[in-house]
Amino acid sequence: MLRFFVPRKWWRVRKWLHLGKEQGMPEALKGVNKFLEKEIVARREKLRHNFGLSVGGKSDLMSYFLQMDGDAPNDDKILKDLILNFLLAGRDTSALALSWFFWLVASHPSVEKKVIEEVQHVMGGCEMKGKPVPTRAEVSQMHYLHAALTESLRLYPSVPIDIKEILEDDILPDGAHVRKNDKLVYAIHAMGRMESIWGSDCCSFRPERWLKPDDGTFTDAHVPPFHYVVFNAGPRNCLGKDIAYLMMKTVASTLLHHFKITLVPGQKIEHKLSVTLYMKNGLLVRLEPRTP
């Protein structure tokens, strides 16, 4: 995180001298590489015993990369980079988004009630017909849940800031001049709380802002794409946006249907300095099974 905001020469000198945050970076990278190497070796071994079939009857990205005909990465470093990218961009971001979502929902009982009512309606009753989780088709019908997750991400985006490097001298639409090799930082977290974009209730958790007033279905057509850049926008729109929503809605609907989530009192919810929006102390909750 700090490398983005200090001159390159400065952090490189600190890296060479093993000072400050740079002191622990080499050991941290060793730990990450050791984990990835162990997983790659173990997966190759399992695939060999299964004669190239998916491990345990399940498919996953690592198995897919290892079995690509003619295009499989021969270099383990490339494979490790691919896997690490998916872990950071796919797993961590969705997990962090759910942490903030459950905190907001537990703090807003009216929202929780509406989510549960929608899940029960879509699933066909409070018993969910004996199924532990909803199907993909059923998840797609949960518009209020989709709106609640979108609203949660507006206030607590998994990636709170983003940085672009300027390729050529240019002038931005507002008249600002930018020079080649400059870095342009925009704060997604701050944009989600700007009254000029979201109105006087910009800091309120209100999923209804994402629902059509006539039929209650989800819509983001009224929001210019570059006002809500949680998943980036334009040509750089996140390729994993749909699968991220599918995962988050499946987990959220299942947990909220089966359990009442109560926050442990006295805990301090605050951010951790990182490229992603971690909860510094995690989220402590109590789970109580819901009675039919």
Question: Residues at the annotated binding site?
Answer: 238
* 106: CB partners within 8 A, 6+ apart: 112, 261, 262, 263, 285
| DSSP-assigned letter for residue 187 | E
Question: Is residue 185 within 8 Å of residue 120, measured between CB atoms?
Answer: no
Secondary structure class of 280 (helix, strand, coil): coil
**What is d(CA 72, CA 162) in angstroms, rounded to the nearest whole number?**
31
CA-to-CA separations, 258 to 16, 20, 99, 144, 152, in angstroms, rounded: 52, 45, 17, 18, 21
264: nearest Cα among 71, 44, 103, 95:
103
Which amino acid, 59?
Answer: S
Residue with tokens 């809605």: 249
Residues contributing to the annotated binding site for heme? 238
Residue with tokens 């210019």: 224
